[in-house]
Amino acid sequence: MEKKQPQKGGKAKGEVAVKPFVGGSKRDLLLEMERDAKAHWAAIEKEEGKGIFDVDAPTEGDQPKFMVTFPYPYMNGRLHLGHTFTISKAEFAAGYHALKGHRSLFPFAFHCTGMPIRSCADKLRREIDTYGNPPQFPAQVDTPAEQKPAAKTVVDPTKAVKGKKAKVVAKTGVAKHQWQIMEEMDVASAEIANFADPQHWIQYFPPHCQSDLRDMGVRVDWRRSFITTDTNPFYDSFVRWQFETLKDMGKIKFGKRYTIYSPKDGGPCADHDRHSSSEGIQPQDYTLIKLEVVAPFPEKLKSLEGKKVYLVPATLRPETMYGQTNCFVLPTGTYGAYEINDSDVFICGAQSALNLSFQGYSKEWGKPSCLLEVTGQDLIGLPLHAPLATYPVVYTLPMKTILTTKATGVVTSVPSDAPDDYVALMDLKTDAKLREKFHVKEEWVMPFEVVPIIDIPGFGSTAAVKVCQERGIKDQHDKLKLEEAKKEVYLKGFNDGVLLVGDHKGEKVSVAKDVIRQELIDRGLAIPYSEPADPVTSRSGDTCVCALCDQWYIEYGEDEWKAATEKVVESMELYSPEVRAQFEATLGWLREWACSRSYGLGTQLPWDTQYLVDSLSDSTIYMAFYTIAHLLQGPENVYGQKPGPSGIKPEQMTRHVWDYIFDRTPEPPKDTEIPREVLDKMRREFTYWYPVNLRVSGKDLVPNHLTFFIYNHVAFWPTDKCPQGIRANGHLLLNSKKMSKADGNFITLRAAMDLYSVTAMRFTLADAGDSVSDANFSNTTAETAVLRLVTQYDFIKEMLEGLANLTDDEPSTFEELAFLSAINRSIVETDTFYKQMKFHEALRTGFFELQNARDSYRTAAMKMNKQVILKFIRTQLILLTPVCPHYCEYIWTKLWLKYADPEGKEVKTITRASWPEAGAIDEDLLRKTAYLDANLHDWRLSAQALLSKKGNIKQLTLFVATDWPDWQKKALVALQGLYRKETNDFPEDYKKQIAALFPNVERPGGKSAPPPFLGKMFSILESVADKTAAEGVSAMSVDIPFQEYDFLAANLDRIKRSLPAGIEEIILVRADEPGGNEAKKAAAIPLKPAFQFGADPVKKK
């Protein structure tokens, strides 16, 4: 990469996890291995004249391929461990598929489009202009931020949830200056001022990102890297082609649409332009009902006489306006009388007035005009004409739970179908002191009864009344019960309700709702209104509104396009039912998406250059650009500022050229100067690598980027070129806590590599978790990784340097054949887990369990076998290579090639090795080994405990059961019948159910009691149930898979070697033979011998 060269090894201040990490000399050894492995790879690159992970399409043939991509990270800072967790999923998959013989491509690029870089640069420039260079900021005292009640999310229960994140962040203290943020990124003070130029960000961070990832050892073909925005003329041309094509297809249209908008930045604020807590929030549509104030006006409103004055409650349920009995305001709230036009005045909260001004409801767009301010108390008792209401006049009353920052701060009351309204109205009817407190007259409340307007099966015609009474809701303070009641009534009312009144009497609510809304608007009795469903803050620090803007938008949700996209999603591998459900929900609600903005960085819309393409719209099919970027740009040219290997100039990349390269037309354009062989080579790259086999991403991108990604591929290519799989993951916790710079629990990729070593970091990322739930990066796991890996290195080194000391016979003993079967099983199971993207499980079978099998063999074997040990070492190295490539490369080149490959038949880098072939797996040997290892573990622990007390053990007696007693067999068969396959568990009362099968027995004196074996039976059932949870249904089998007594008899020497020194004799006793220790024999069960240690008498002196 050209341009800015990074400084290696720097850690940003405050970016190391607060929990200390213990690494020491063993960690340092891993760091040394990593340096050596990188030097080895560099030597290969120098020898071959290309990157070690560079890969091209074959000139002919169809060699298996694998292409994996990751959403290019935003270049406004260094990569952190959260980025790295998701990147690791792609990295491990790419490494695995390379070992499986695929041409494995993992390209990587750098995202610079959008507002964040521009807004940060502008903020820095303002600070320099205001406070100097370097700036001298005024002293500030950190004080807790004002704590305001959080506005409750208002959700229309009849609509799908629009990808809203459940993030509510309460922050304290003052905001940091941009200069201070740059210092925390470890940017030298002398260089910070340069970042006032947005282009400097683009020059500075991509090289750092690339350097960090190179040191991490990711399998990236860096020739294919690029940056976005018009700084790169090739990518700029690509995006212009994409958008001109979409427009010609009729996918892009122009018109007024509600959009989240930043007044400060002067343009739409899409997800990538917001703080993370605001991502996924969409506009929430309401209907504003115009409740006209009846003259004469009270003193507080006298100055408004001559105008039409309205209280304007926002509602999600316009069809219920027939049941209005009153209007509610917050008595202590501040309201304004806002001039909408020459004749109309709306009384509402300030935030809604600001939103309205951006939707055409003010004299000047974006500037609300407040004629006067009043309190909610000033409005109580106002008589109102309510559209569609049965009562000719209703009154304004107090409600204590209203938030003036949500919707308009005015609530129209429909107590028949709104539990909140019913309870609030009943409070005023029944509580004279409450009326007195807020100066409410009885005539404003008492005459107004609930009006039945909708019949709901099972709920009647006054659903809110019924639900509140049934749930025992007493007053407005029963918030949880009210919330549950509201959801139930709203959803049932929409789906099953039938109108009892009005022009649409007899119609279902689901049919009439939108019709009634439009009729109210057409008659001038209501207006449409929208606001952000939750507060949205832009990256520039602005509180966003919902604006009705002229904008270019992509028509996602169009019926034919949506159906085709749904079909592709249906066929994709998504690895998780939860992710599939999230995609299906998103496809259900996603509609028009604003794709243009006026502020930021990016590509200009080709046909309307006053606008830029937004950052979520120029990032949908760039995976296709990866396939040919190395030919257009070439290595060390991410900015595309010089000709690449193809010799093509950016201006030669016309729409027809792009269409031919990307297999959208059969013939190249006749007027191009680009040679046909060059065009065909690029076309071959695209047709070979496409479709994308896998895209990895955080699950938070499903409601936007990932769905756009699929939609756009469907628009451009047939199904066989559409993505095949998406692997979405959750967020990464650091030591079981959310990563947070403010809390000091945060670490960059660079700092993590320095702290843990690349090897331990990668190992811990693989172990962190495979589900879509949040994963956990644990210091404890990293420490374990360091110890286990170094211990394994010592073992491998000892074995390879001492091969002459091992036997070289054909493996034939029980221990040798059992270990080979364990190795072969590890190969098969680990292969499956890598393929399924279950890296935690791949580590379990491909490292931990393989290590256990090695330890078992090492303990059991009189002398280890060279062929078996070599098979283990080679298998272990290759199975671990996707996760720990530096570690495995070091052992491969320094030890394996030197001692195990004297003839030089192996590849010179383990990253090009082939997945090991699995031989025969003898399940009988594995069962016997597992049986012996488990029992030996128990016997050793017991012996060690006794030795610490008695100090003298000479004998071990094993009592071996030859069959299950009838009662045990009956209990296990019953347990099998209670097993729940779908949840891999048993009912909570499984022991009680099984105990009922065994009636009481008669005792002396004519009394009955439970059978004496019941306690032991419960113990056995608990043990088997636990084993079933880990191993599956086979753990409940009553079949005895081998002759246990004979097997133990054949392995007495091994048992003796595995126990503490001094135990000289092992005695076997059949549990069904008469005589001896009856209690011990009774305790024995198949595959679990009872045991007893004995000692020689201690001689007296």
Q: What is the mean pLDDT of residues 760-772?
A: 95
1092-1096 contact pairs (CB < 8 A, 24+): 1092/956, 1092/957, 1092/959, 1093/942, 1093/943, 1093/946, 1093/953, 1093/955, 1093/956, 1093/957, 1093/1063, 1094/953, 1094/954, 1094/955, 1094/956, 1094/957, 1095/950, 1095/952, 1095/953, 1095/954, 1095/955, 1096/952, 1096/954
Tokens read off for 504? 């649409």
The pLDDT tens digits for 883-892 are 999 999 999 9
Q: Is the pLDDT of residue 947 over 90?
A: no
- Answer yes or no: are the C-beta atoms of 461 and 455 closer than 8 Å: yes
Q: What is the pLDDT of residue 876?
A: 98
If we measure between CA atoms, which residue out of 918, 811, 796 comes closest to residue 865? 811
Collapsing DSSP states into helix, strand and coil, what is residue 909?
coil
- How far apart CA 711 and CA 242 sit, in angstroms, is 13
- How far apart CA 977 and CA 273 sit, in angstroms, is 56
State the distance between the two ends of the chain, measured CA to CA, in whole angstroms: 84
Q: How confident is the model at residue 140 (pLDDT cuts 50, 70, 90)?
A: low
Q: What is the pLDDT of residue 173?
A: 35
- How far apart CA 1064 and CA 1057 sit, in angstroms, is 10
If we measure between CA atoms, which residue out of 639, 481, 628, 610 comes closest to residue 552? 610
If we measure between CA atoms, which residue out of 469, 465, 460, 467 comes closest to residue 498? 460
The vertex-658 CA angle with 657 and 662, nearest 5°, equals: 120
Residue with tokens 């030795």: 947
- Answer yes or no: are the C-beta atoms of 559 and 251 closer than 8 Å: no
Q: What is the mean pLDDT of residues 49-77?
A: 94
Q: What is the mean pLDDT of residues 674-689?
A: 97
Listing DSSP states for 747-760 in one string gives -BHHHHHHHH-HHH
Q: How confident is the model at residue 22 (pLDDT cuts 50, 70, 90)?
A: low
Tokens read off for 704? 């936007």
Q: Is the pLDDT of residue 52 over 90?
A: yes
Q: How confident is the model at residue 921 (pLDDT cuts 50, 70, 90)?
A: very high
Q: What is the pLDDT of residue 678?
A: 97
Q: Is the pLDDT of residue 1090 over 50?
A: yes
- Answer yes or no: are the C-beta atoms of 751 and 12 closer than 8 Å: yes
- Answer yes or no: are the C-beta atoms of 342 and 328 closer than 8 Å: no
Q: What is the 3-state secondary structure (H, E, C) of 535-562?
A: CCEECCCCECEEEEEEEEEECCCCHHHH
**10 Å Cβ neighbour count for 1029?**
13
The pLDDT tens digits for 439-450 are 999 999 999 999
Whats the size of the chain, residue-wise?
A: 1101
Q: What is the mean pLDDT of residues 833-846?
A: 97
| CA 532 to chain centroid | 23
Q: How confident is the model at residue 276 (pLDDT cuts 50, 70, 90)?
A: low
706-709 contact pairs (CB < 8 A, 24+): 706/583, 707/556, 707/565, 707/583, 707/586, 707/587, 707/590, 708/554, 708/556, 708/593, 708/616, 708/617, 708/619, 708/620, 709/620, 709/621
- How far apart CA 888 and CA 910 sit, in angstroms, is 7
- How far apart CA 93 and CA 102 sit, in angstroms, is 11
Tell me the average pLDDT of the chain. Answer: 90
Q: Is the pLDDT of residue 9 over 60?
A: no
Residue with tokens 């940017």: 187
Tokens read off for 616? 């979520």
Element (H, E) at 612: strand 608-613
Tell me the CA distances in angstroms from 570 to 577, 627, 713, 831, one per residue in order.
12, 26, 15, 25
- Answer yes or no: are the C-beta atoms of 42 and 51 closer than 8 Å: no
Listing DSSP states for 272-329 in one string gives GGB-GGGTT--EEEEEEE-EEEPSSPPGGGGGGTTSEEEE--EES-GGGGGG--EEEE
If we measure between CA atoms, which residue out of 1077, 979, 966, 964 comes closest to residue 1011? 966
Q: How confident is the model at residue 744 (pLDDT cuts 50, 70, 90)?
A: confident
Q: Is the pLDDT of residue 277 over 90?
A: no
Tell me the CA distances in angstroms from 312 to 362, 467, 510, 886, 1057, one per residue in order.
14, 28, 24, 66, 87
Q: What is the pLDDT of residue 1?
A: 54
Listing DSSP states for 333-396 in one string gives -EEEEEE-SSSEEEEE-HHHHHHHHTTT-SSBTTB--EEEEEEHHHHTT-EEE-TT-SSS-EEE
On the question of a cis peptide bond just before residue 296, with omega within 30 degrees of 0, the verdict is: yes
Q: Return all residues near 638 (Cβ < 8 A) that are at least 6 apart.
A: 1, 2, 109, 110, 206, 225, 226, 227, 232
Listing DSSP states for 158-227 in one string gives TS---S---------SPPPPHHHHHHHTT--HHHHGGGGSHHHHHHHHHHHHHHHHHHHT--B-GGG--B
Collapsing DSSP states into helix, strand and coil, what is residue 1048?
helix
Supply the DSSP symbol for 1036.
Answer: G
Window from 231-245, 250-264, 319-333 with minimum mean pLDDT: 250-264
- How far apart CA 607 and CA 439 sit, in angstroms, is 62
Share of residues in the chain with pLDDT > 90 (%) = 71
Q: Is the pLDDT of residue 552 over 50?
A: yes
Collapsing DSSP states into helix, strand and coil, what is residue 3?
coil
Q: What is the pLDDT of residue 20?
A: 61
Q: Is the pLDDT of residue 1099 over 50?
A: no
Tell me which amino acid residue 1090 is. A
Q: How confident is the model at residue 811 (pLDDT cuts 50, 70, 90)?
A: very high
Listed in order, strand segments (DSSP E) in 35-159 are: 65-69, 103-105
Q: How confident is the model at residue 718 (pLDDT cuts 50, 70, 90)?
A: very high
Q: What is the pLDDT of residue 1040?
A: 86
Tell me the CA distances in angstroms from 243 to 251, 554, 712, one per residue in order.
9, 10, 11
Q: What is the pLDDT of residue 551?
A: 86
Window from 257-261, 702-706, 762-766 with minimum mean pLDDT: 257-261
pLDDT top residue among 258 and 353: 353
Tokens read off for 1018? 């419960």
Tokens read off for 543? 């509180």
Would the pTM count as exceeding 0.75? yes
Sign of the alpha-carbon dihedral angle for 918, 920, 923, 928: negative
Q: What is the pLDDT of residue 10?
A: 40
Q: What is the pLDDT of residue 962?
A: 87
- How far apart CA 1000 and CA 181 sit, in angstroms, is 75
Q: What is the pLDDT of residue 875?
A: 98
- Answer yes or no: are the C-beta atoms of 839 and 96 closer than 8 Å: no
Q: Is the pLDDT of residue 661 over 60?
A: yes
Q: Is the pLDDT of residue 650 over 60?
A: yes
Element (H, E) at 56: none
Q: What is the mean pLDDT of residues 997-1021?
A: 81
If we measure between CA atoms, which residue out of 854, 800, 794 comes closest to residue 823? 854
Q: What is the mean pLDDT of residues 504-531?
A: 93
480 forms bridges with which residues in the sheet?
none
The pLDDT tens digits for 850-907 are 999 999 999 888 899 999 999 999 999 999 999 999 999 999 999 999 999 989 999 9
- How far apart CA 378 and CA 1047 sit, in angstroms, is 92
Collapsing DSSP states into helix, strand and coil, what is residue 572?
coil
- How far apart CA 66 and CA 690 sit, in angstroms, is 9
On the question of a cis peptide bond just before residue 134, with omega within 30 degrees of 0, the verdict is: yes
The pLDDT tens digits for 144-203 are 333 333 444 444 544 443 433 322 222 223 457 899 999 988 899 999 999 999 999 999
Q: What is the 3-state secondary structure (H, E, C) of 587-608?
A: HHHCCCEECEECCCECCEECCE
- How far apart CA 1036 and CA 973 sit, in angstroms, is 8
The pLDDT tens digits for 448-500 are 999 999 999 989 999 999 999 988 888 887 888 888 888 888 888 887 899 99
